Each structure stands twice: as structure tokens, then as C-alpha cells.
Structure 1
Amino acid sequence: MRGTHPLPLRFIPLLALLAALLLPVGVPLAPPAAAAKGAADPVRIMPLGDSITGSPGCWRASLWNRLRSTGYTNIDFVGTLGPQGCGQPYDGDNEGHGGELVTNVADQNLLPGRLAATLPDIVVMHFGTNDVWSSLAPDRILAAYTRLVEQMRASNPDMRILVAQLIPMNPSSCTGCAQRVVEFNARVPEWAGATGTSRSPVTVVDQWSGFDTAVDTYDGVHPNASGDEKIAGRWYPALTALLEAGPGDPGDPGDPGDPGEPSGCTASFRAVSVWLGGYQGEVTVTNTSDSSVPGWAATVVPVDGARLTQVWNGTLGTAADGTATVANASWNGTLAPGASASFGFIAGTPATAGAPSATVSCTARAASS
């Protein structure tokens, strides 16, 4: 039958050209979805470590759900490894490789490829347990930390990094491990102070204080359910502080002192006990506002070259000049009007230091609207 032949193929490019010419001038074609990147992109967070982080590392599930339930929804946990259960829905991507030594990761240059595949904005690192177990010297482990931080910044100059003081370790097959963790953790704040920058801060998170291997692990090393909750509780305030500050903004510590901007809380210091080379101190934070606050952070500036080395009932971050910032723990952040919370700490001092003294201040986190 006439009139039923298909168009010759040579007509099709011509029709496409005519259609393109009919488009209004100045109307751009939409870019591919993969090429679009805007301000609404989620913050990419890499949990980095060994089996404590990834096998199965269920503190990540607890942390993820705690963040989501408190309004931090624009986040994405990233890593080349996937979830391993944990009995609750969560974003299980991570970089926790069971059995890895942080020194091997640095020596074998393993991290750059993992960073390139995931492009994190924040790294949450609990790494070095296997190195301590292997009796490697703190200097060597911290050199590996430095190498990894350099690689993180090569991937992202604005990388923000949370580094844990390791949870305690007391396996029956390693009688010296418990003390080696203590000795290593004591070195971490000074390393972080020398390594952090205003553009790429390194914040120390005390995962050691208040963690009991007899109660919070199933084998003296790996956390059980209660241990997972404690680890998540220590990461939470430090991580939310970074999420609230945003990239390139370490938190603007000068803001609370600006005229006309009350901090919402006061802080007081007392020395509990003193010994040669150190002392135990306590800081009490009081909500002075007329409404409940969901969290707080205290600044501690010790005199005579003292430095905070351990904190309990709070999460420690230390700047290069020795100034310490302690954020509330998960259980003592919410304060009603007039209510108080306290945290304790150990400070190391030079032999020439005088009586313990510190300037303390605090700021309350605003309630979510």
C-alpha cells in the first residue's frame, strides 16, 4: 500500500537538527544528574580504623541513628566497605578493616585510594589498637597518624579529623596491652595540637575514660552493646560540633565573648588533688539562661604550661597552645535553667609549675528550632 513506507534513516538527523534549532535561544540543557553538586550535598563522614570500627563496629549504627534522630539528617557515612549487620537500619559504609595496623596502612600507602573512592569531608578515626598490641612504639604509631593526615589533606585541604584516644584493651593473651594503651593515649593530645590547623582541625576525642573492658567488651578488646553505646556517645558531641560549624570554620571560639551575646552558661574550676608533675581538676558548668539547653562546651586554659591529658564526663579537644575544649557527654548535655554538670580531668605539668590554676569559660548550644 502507498503511503506506509517508513522515513528513510537519512531524514532522522535532519529532524533532530530542526528540533534543536527550535529551542529558545539562551535556554541551557540540563546537566547530567551526576554532574550537579550544590549546597545541599550531604556531609560525607568516613569512619576509619580496624575491627573496632568495622567488624561489625555497631557503634556506627548507634551514632548514625543518634545523629538522625536529633536533626542531623544531611549526612552520608562513606567507605569502601559495607555494613555487617547490627540489627538496626543505618548507613553502614565504613573504612574499618579488621586486623589492620595503622602503620601498615601508612607504609603501604593504602589510604589515598580509599579517599579517592569516597571523598570524605570528615574522618572519624579510632586506629592503632593492633599496633599497640604488636608493641610498636608510640612515636612510630603517631608518625603513621601524621602520614594519614597528610594524605587526608591532599584529598581535601579542608578535611576535618576526629582522632580517638583508644578504648582500653585488656585481653588475656596480652598482659602488657592495658598499660601500653594508657601510655599511647597520653601522647595523642600533644600530637594533635602540633598537627591540627585552622583550616583542617584535628580534634581529640577521649574514648578511654569511663570505658570498662570487663563490662563494655566481650573479649577485653572489642566492644559489646554497652561499649558501642559509650563509643557513639563520645563521638556524638565532637562530630555535631563540626557539623554545626561547617567546613573552614573551627567553631569561631571568639563568638561567646562578643558584647551583647551571653554564653548562656558559666564555668568554675577547682583542683581536686595535686602531685609532682600533674593534678586532677574539676570544672562545673551551670546553665544561666531562662530555658533548657541541649548541650554545652567548656574552654579550659591551664596556667604554667599545664596540658589536659584525660577527661571524663566530657569529650576533649586540645589546641596547639594547650587550650582545651571539652564538649558535654551524651548523658550530661541537657541542662534545665539553673542546673549544673561537671567533668573531671587530669593535667600534666612541668616540674616548675606553681599551684594548679586555669581560666575556664563555657558556651551553651542553642536549642533546635
Structure 2
Amino acid sequence: MRRLHLFARAGAALIIAVGMAAVGMAVGTAQAESNGGVRVMPLGDSITDGLTVPGGYRINLWQRLVAGGYTVDFVGSQFNGPGTLGDHDHEGHSGWRIDQIDANIATWMRTSTPRTVLLHIGTNDMFGNAAGAPARLSTLIDHITAAAPNAEVFVATIIPLSGADSAVRTFNAAIPGIVTSKVNAGRHVHLVDMFSALTTADLADGVHPNANGYNKMAAVWYNALLSVPASLTGGTPPSSPPSSPGGSCTATVRDGTRWSDRFNTEVTVTGTNTWTVVLALTSPQTVSSTWNSTYTFDATTRLVTLRPNGNGNVFGITTLANGNFTRPQVRSCTAA
């Protein structure tokens, strides 16, 4: 079987190269590796397919999901990746633009019936009518949500692209507004800031990530999924909060004041006075401030680690929403 490799370069047309599958590498149409888990569709172009690293971000994302205790069934009409990728199905089409994905999405959604969609698309559009890409993306999202109104749809900003930085930034700047409009219309659409997680140093050829870049993408996708528990329901999710070495405690969250650009969340810890609580924000949220605690924030994983500052077991966090008002999710509570 063969696979079409399409990749873009600044100032040049897309170049199409036909490559044979590497020895021992699964490539081709979907083999329906169903395990009965939550149906997740990785959707996009060659970055989803995994050009330069067959399987791409799906390898490390799969491993993270398994380690986290989640049962997930990747779905799609395509199939590739190494043995370390437990499910090779996906909907990544090398060289495809938004409109090409859109022309097929109704059929794919009907065939695969995903519970969750991971959408990273637009890279190939940066070299042809980039100005119209936001409108095309908006239409694609409408068609996805029309086909599966209850699906959780994660829409990523596209990763950096050598030679087309201005076009990429302009396109990405439009995506939060697109996502917000869908949320306001009652759709289950979530913004994922993928652009900030990678730099051009994480690219193997100026377009596609190297192994490290794909691992960074996997971390962002994983934490985005964790921030929306419904995206992983249907299988057997791990207990919450998960057990941790050194003893356990319980962290209970409560909504606080909400403003136009930020919101408060109060957290109460029981079971210990010497706790470490990890919260997961939803991209592109960031931390504005906390009270009654000290904290560190990992901008790549969107995880906030908080510890007591001597003012008791009730603390809080002010989150800069950046268009997303999803409440922080407790990932763990550990007694020191």
C-alpha cells in the first residue's frame, strides 16, 4: 500500500511525493481496531497522519491515555503508525486543505460516529487563499457539529510554520472568535492553543513536527481532553482525584465571581494540612493569581500545582479565560 505525502513550503506550491510505507510500519485504510472505548477522531492533514514520524502525536497521546486509565478507540478511515501506537485509526489526510476535509466530513462522521473530535487543520491553506481560511474553518466546524451535535469538538490553533509566520498568526488569531461563536450557539466546541506549545525548533522540515514536537502536541491534546471530562466518558475513566504516593486528600472546587475576561474558583482541601493540589486549565486559559496558596504553572500542559502558604485549607485561583470559561479540573490531591 502507499501513502501520499504532501507538504507546503513558503512561496511555493504544494509538492506531492509518493512514498512507500516503511518496513514494519502499518499504513493504509482503517482496520477498525475497536476496543469498545470512547470513540475519538484525530482529524486533519499530514500533521495528524504523522509525516516524518508515522503516527505523529497519536503515539504519545495513546500512551498517555492508557497510563491515565482511559479506554479510548481512535476512529477514522486512515490507518498508520508503529506498534507502540495501540490504535492506528485516524482521519489525517496528507496535503489536504480545510475545504477538502469539509467535503468529506459528513461521510466520515456518519461512518465513525466519534464522541470526540481532535481538529488540527489549516496548514496547507496558508499557501493558498489564507485570508479565507477562517471562514472555511467556521463552516467545517458547523458541519462537524451538525453531524454530531453531542460530540466534544476540540479545535486547535495550528502549529508554527517556517516561512509563513504572518499567515499562521493571522489565521490563529481568528480561531478564538470562531470557537466562541460556536459555544454561544450551544455547541460543544473547545479551543486548544497548540501554536504556543511548539516553536520552529520542534519542526523536522519546517512544516511537520519532529518526535519532540509531536510529544508536545500529545501533551496539549491530553490535557485538553482531561479538562472536558465528557470527552472521555463512555469508557471507564479513572477515579477522581487519582491516587498518589505519599497519602491522599480531597480537593473540592466551587465556582466564584466571574468577570468578562476572568473568573475565580475556590478550592477546599480535606484530609491534610500539608497538601499539593494539581488543577488542569483548559487551553488557552492562564493563571492570573491565586490566594492562600503558592503555585507553579506549566504553560505547555496547562497544569497548575498549588501548595499551602500557611493560611489554611481553603484557597482560590483567578483564571484568565481568554474566551474559555471552563472550570479548572482537579487532577490530584496529595498529602505530603
* Residue 99 of structure 1: how far off its partner (Å): 0.5
User: What is the CA distance between 1:225 and its match in structure 2?
Assistant: 1.0
| TM-score normalised by structure 1 residue count | 0.59
- Alignment partners' CA distance in 2, 1:134 and 1:115: 26
Paired residue for 1:311? Answer: none
- Higher strand proportion, which one? 2
Identity %: 30
Could you tell me how far 1:154 is from its partner in structure 2? 3.2
Distance (whole Å) between structure 2 residues aligned to residue 158 and residue 265 of structure 1 = 24
- Asked whether the equivalents of residues 227 and 280 of structure 2 are also in contact (C-alpha less than 8 Å), the reply is no
With over 3 angstroms needed to count, the CA separation of the structure-2 counterparts of 1:286 and 1:224, relative to structure 1, is farther
Alignment of 1:80-229 (within 5 A): 80-85=77-82, 88-106=84-102, 109-137=103-131, 140-170=132-162, 175=163, 177-196=164-183, 199-213=186-200, 215-229=201-215
* Larger radius of gyration between Structure 1 and Structure 2: 1
**Structure-2 separation of matches of 1:52 and 1:182:** 18
The C-alpha deviation readout for 1:203-261, integer Å capped at 9, x for no partner, is 11001114111x201111100011011111111111122335777xxxxxxxxxxxxx9
Q: What displacement does 1:115 show?
A: 1.6
Q: Aligned match of 2:46 in 44, 51, 55?
A: 51
The residue type paired with residue 78 of structure 1 is V
**Residues 155 and 192, structure 2, Cα contact 8 Å, conserved in 1:** yes
Q: Give how far 1:328 is off.
A: 6.3
* Whole-Å separation in 2 of the counterparts to 1:125 and 1:145: 10
Q: CA deviation at 1:110?
A: 1.4
SS of the equivalent of 1:47 reads strand
Whether the 8 Å contact between 2:56 and 2:214 is mirrored in structure 1 is yes
* Deviation per residue, 1:44-89 (Å, 9 max, x gap): 110100000003342111111101101222x11100001233x623
Give the secondary-structure state (helix, strand or coil) at the position aligned to 1:166: coil
- Candidates 186, 210, 221, aligned match of 1:235: 221
Q: Point out the more displaced range, 148-157 or 178-187.
A: 148-157
Cα separation, 2, equivalents of 1:222 and 1:100: 14
Residues 107-140 of structure 1 show CA distances to partners (whole Å, capped at 9, x for unaligned) of xx21112222211111100001000122421xx2
Measured after TM superposition, the shift of residue 146 of structure 1 is 2.6
| Count, aligned residues | 259
Q: Is the contact made by 2:225 and 2:231 (CA closer than 8 Å) also made in structure 1?
A: no
Tell me if the contact between 1:216 and 1:226 (Cα under 8 Å) persists in the aligned partners: yes
Once residues 46 and 218 of structure 2 are traced to their aligned partners in structure 1, the CA distance between those partners, rounded to angstroms, is 15
Aligned counterpart for 2:69 among listed residues 63, 71, 76? 71
Flag structure 1 segments of 5+ consecutive residues without an equivalent. 1-39, 248-260, 270-280, 298-313, 319-326, 349-359
CA deviations over 1:123-177 (Å, ceiling 9, x no partner): 100001000122421xx2222223322322332221211011110100xxxx3x1
Cα separation, partners in 2 of 1:180 and 1:155, compared to 1, 3 Å: same
In angstroms, what is the RMSD of aligned CA positions?
Answer: 4.1
Q: Which has the higher contact order (CA 8 A, sep 6+)?
A: 2
TM-score normalized by the length of structure 2? 0.64
Q: What secondary structure sits across from 1:124 in the alignment? A: strand
CA offset at residue 202 of structure 1? 1.2
Amino acid of the residue matched to residue 187 of structure 1? Answer: A
**For the residues of structure 1 that align with 2:321 and 2:229, how far apart are their CA atoms?**
28
Amino acid across the alignment from 1:103: D
Q: Tell me, what secondary structure is at the counterpart of 2:130?
A: coil
* In structure 1, C-alpha distance between the alignment counterparts of 2:80 and 2:212, rounded to whole Å: 19
Instruction: Work out whether residues 163 and 205 of structure 1, in 8 Å CA contact, stay in contact via their aligned partners in 2.
Output: yes
Contact 1:45 1:124 in 2 (8 A): yes
Question: Does the 8 Å CA contact 1:295/1:335 hold for their aligned counterparts?
Answer: yes
Q: SS of the residue aligned with 1:158? A: coil
Q: Distance in 1 between matches of 2:319 and 2:67?
A: 29
Mapping 1:260-271, distance limit 5 Å = 262-263=252-253
2: CA distance, partners of 1:103 / 1:230: 27
Is the Cα–Cα contact under 8 Å of residues 81 and 88 in structure 2 kept in the other structure? yes
Q: Structure 2: how far apart are the matches of 1:136 and 1:196?
A: 24
